[in-house]
Amino acid sequence: MAGEIHKGHIYQRFDAELADLRSKVLTMGGMVEQQLADALRALSEQDHDLAARVVAGDLEVNGFDVDIDEEATRIIARRQPTAIDLRLILTVLRVTNDLERIGDEAERVARMADRLAEAGEGRGHENRLGHISQRVSRMLHDALDAFARMDVELALKVAREDADVDRDYEGIMRLMITYMMEDPRTIPAVLNVLWAARAIERIGDRSRNICEYVIYLVKGKDVRHTSVEHMAEEMERR
- Residue-range definition of the domain harbouring residue 59: 2-236
Burial status of residue 106 (CB atoms within 10 A of its CB: 0-12, 13-18, 19 or more):
buried
What are 158-187's pLDDT values in tens digits?
999 999 999 999 999 999 999 899 998 888
- Specify the CATH number for the domain of residue 194: 1.20.58.220
- For the entire predicted model, the pTM comes to 0.90
Whether 210 and 98 have beta carbons less than 8 Å apart is answered as: yes
Q: How many domains does the chain have?
A: 1
**pLDDT for 7:** 46
Band (38; pLDDT cuts 50, 70, 90): very high
How far is residue 158's CA from residue 144's CA, in Å, rounded to a whole number? 10
**Angle made by CA atoms 19, 22, 26, in degrees to the nearest 5:** 135
Whether 138 and 165 have beta carbons less than 8 Å apart is answered as: no
Of the chain, the end-to-end C-alpha distance in Å amounts to 37
Per the prediction, the chain carries an average pLDDT of 89
- Distances, alpha carbon 96 to alpha carbons 28, 93, 132, 189, in Å: 8, 5, 23, 33
**Angle made by CA atoms 204, 205, 211, in degrees to the nearest 5:** 90
Q: How many CB atoms lie within 10 A of CB 66?
A: 11
**pLDDT for 209:** 96
What are 213-236's pLDDT values in tens digits?
999 999 888 787 777 776 676 667
* Three-state SS at 190: helix
Closest CA to 113 of 169, 46, 159: 46
Q: Running DSSP on this structure, what letter comes out for residue 226? A: S
Band (238; pLDDT cuts 50, 70, 90): low
How far is residue 86's CA from residue 81's CA, in Å, rounded to a whole number? 5
Say whether pLDDT at 11 is over 80. no
